[in-house]
Amino acid sequence: MSTDFQHRSVLLDATVELLAPRPGGRYLDGTLGGGGHSELLLQRSAPDGFVLGLDRDLSALDAARARLAPFGSRFEARQGRASQLAELAADQGPFDGMLLDLGVSSPQLDRAERGFSFQQDGPVDMRMDPSQGASAAELLDELDEDELVDILSQLGEEPRARRIARAVLAGRPWTSTLALADCVARASGYHGSRTHPATRTFQALRMAVNEEPQELLAALDAAESLLGPGGRLAIISFHSLEDRVVKHRFRALCGLDAPRDPYGNPLPPPGWALLTRRGVSGADADPDNPRARSARLRVIQRLSVT
Ligand SMILES: C[S@@+](CC[C@H](N)C(=O)[O-])C[C@H]1O[C@@H](n2cnc3c(N)ncnc32)[C@H](O)[C@@H]1O
């Protein structure tokens, strides 16, 4: 790689195998990151497969463009949010496969100045695209206690949300991630656990700042309009809430939740088929990759004739 953007792709082989790239195929990577999945898609769709990559983070786009330059016009990268996929990618569709590898990349977490880290000091920012929207510090300035409790419990699944929220709001304004992490650690009263006591709080704030739940729902809608007959949609999630959203949407599209109408008549055949019944667990399929521990991959395919 020609930049210092180091991200180890999660479930790389399993994902690309299930997307089944072929020569001449057209693929959409809605969360390009360092371009690891896109690179393998380009290799496996040689000599003339095409990948359009999208990311909201300019530094990821720069890194992926440099890495994938050898593929020439077979690869194109655009900046944008997954929720804008329908508009940003329509001119290149329909696609034979689409990938969403949700969450953050290692460089976003590791570069202190991006403000995602509770281990290195930086501004309390956490925006994947620092030119858009409110930073985590600005969000914290605006929230009341109940709103912060909701964010911490729903997006962080933090059982001690109330006492953490109180302490965090009392300590505003926040300018240092280490100071914020220290406040959370003291307020939570967690001692001796394997994970840092601020892990769940930082995850919840990051998801709220980047509107990740809303982004996922909008990206799922867009995917349905962008995939052609036989097209496959693969989603890797790292959070149980996101995985539940993906699982339910996939089951609904595949007609698995209500195969009969309210009068008991069979419904028309669904337009999609589930390719991963229980999902593929990162711990099982990518055991040597620490980033894959909480990952789950789910894949569906649009049927050719419905
Ligand atoms: C886990 S990384 C992807 C890594 C990539 N698959 C690879 O192998 O290098 C996720 C990337 O998606 C981007 N991202 C996350 N949510 C996004 C969204 N809603 N819209 C656009 N990009 C998003 C992040 O900026 C990050 O670069």
Dump pLDDT digits (tens) for 168-221.
999 999 999 999 999 999 999 887 778 899 999 999 999 999 999 999 999 999
In a domain, residue 2? The reply is no
pLDDT exceeds 90 at position 7? no
Integer CA distances (angstroms), 289 to 4, 9, 241, in order = 19, 9, 22
CB of 107 shorter than 6 A to ligand 1: no
Q: How far is the CA of 169 from the centre of ligand 1 (A)?
A: 30
CB of 35 shorter than 6 A to ligand 1: yes
Q: How far is the CA of 262 from the centre of ligand 1 (A)?
A: 40
Four-residue CA torsion sign, 108, 113, 114, 120: positive
Q: How far is the CA of 103 from the centre of ligand 1 (A)?
A: 6
pLDDT exceeds 80 at position 258? no
In a domain, residue 4? The reply is no
Region of residue 113 (left: phi > 0; alpha: psi -120 to 50; beta: else)? alpha
* Mean pLDDT of the chain, nearest integer: 93
In a domain, residue 185? The reply is yes
Question: For position 167, which CATH number holds?
Answer: 1.10.150.170
Do both 270 and 137 map to the same domain?
A: no
Integer CA distances (angstroms), 120 to 101, 113, 158, 244, 261, in order = 25, 9, 22, 32, 55
pLDDT reported for residue 265 = 73
Q: How far is the CA of 7 from the centre of ligand 1 (A)?
A: 11
Find the domain containing 293 and state its range.
12-106+212-302
Question: Which residue among 150, 182, 209 closes a domain?
Answer: 209
Atom of ligand 1 nearest to the CA of 9: 8
Number of domains in the chain: 2
* Cα(144)–Cα(65) distance, integer angstroms: 41
In a domain, residue 111? The reply is no
In a domain, residue 124? The reply is no
User: Residue with the nearest Cα to atom 25 of ligand 1?
Assistant: 57
pLDDT exceeds 50 at position 111? yes
Q: How far is the CA of 186 from the centre of ligand 1 (A)?
A: 32
Residue range 130-146: mean pLDDT, rounded: 97
Residue range 131-157: mean pLDDT, rounded: 97
* Cα(270)–Cα(268) distance, integer angstroms: 6
Note the pTM of the prediction, 2 decimals: 0.94
Using pLDDT thresholds of 50, 70 and 90, give the confidence band for residue 1: very low
Higher pLDDT, 298 or 191: 298
pLDDT reported for residue 2 = 41
Residue range 67-73: mean pLDDT, rounded: 98
pLDDT reported for residue 161 = 98
pLDDT reported for residue 263 = 76
User: Rounded to a whole number, what is the largest CA-CA distance in the chain?
Assistant: 61
In a domain, residue 63? The reply is yes
148-178 per-position pLDDT tens digit: 999 999 999 999 999 999 999 999 999 999 9
Structure-block tokens of residue 259: 């195969």
In a domain, residue 227? The reply is yes
